[in-house]
Amino acid sequence: MDGILQVILALLAAIGLLALGWALFGQMLLPGDWSGPVYAVVPAAGEGEHLEQDVKSLLWLRGHKRKQFTIIIADGGLDPTGKAVAAALLSGATGMVVCPVDRLSQYITEK
């Protein structure tokens, strides 16, 4: 019985150390404070391959609510399938826009 208790305590300690390491690693990856607007630009063309994965990765980063940034999908020639993917991503999230590539600098300087 004593051996089982030691194994359980060792597992709990290992899980606790892993959680602590994960939290500290996450803090190291977070950028410092910023005062101006910040944009994450995701280039997209064609059918929008990898668009959903890229945007969802950025939404995961933004999910901690510590740092807010606008996600811009830079439309570099999306076809109807790619535009449908972009529209589906826009419908479920805030702080995201689709902008044609040739208007990207204008959009950023206006905001």
CB-count burial class (<10 Å; 0-12, 13-18, 19+) for 107: middle
The per-residue pLDDT string of the chain (111 residues; one tens digit each, 9 = 90 and over) reads 788 999 999 999 999 999 999 988 877 776 666 677 888 999 998 888 889 999 988 888 887 666 678 899 999 889 999 999 999 988 877 889 999 999 988 888 876
CA triple 11-13-18, angle to 5 deg: 95
Looking at the structure of the chain, the number of domains it has is 2
Q: Give yes or no for a contact between 43 and 76, defined as CB atoms under 8 angstroms apart.
A: yes
Same domain, 10 and 57: no
Same domain, 23 and 37: no
Give the pTM. 0.68
Residue 26 belongs to what domain range?
1-30
Same domain, 39 and 76: yes
Q: Give yes or no for a contact between 51 and 74, defined as CB atoms under 8 angstroms apart.
A: no
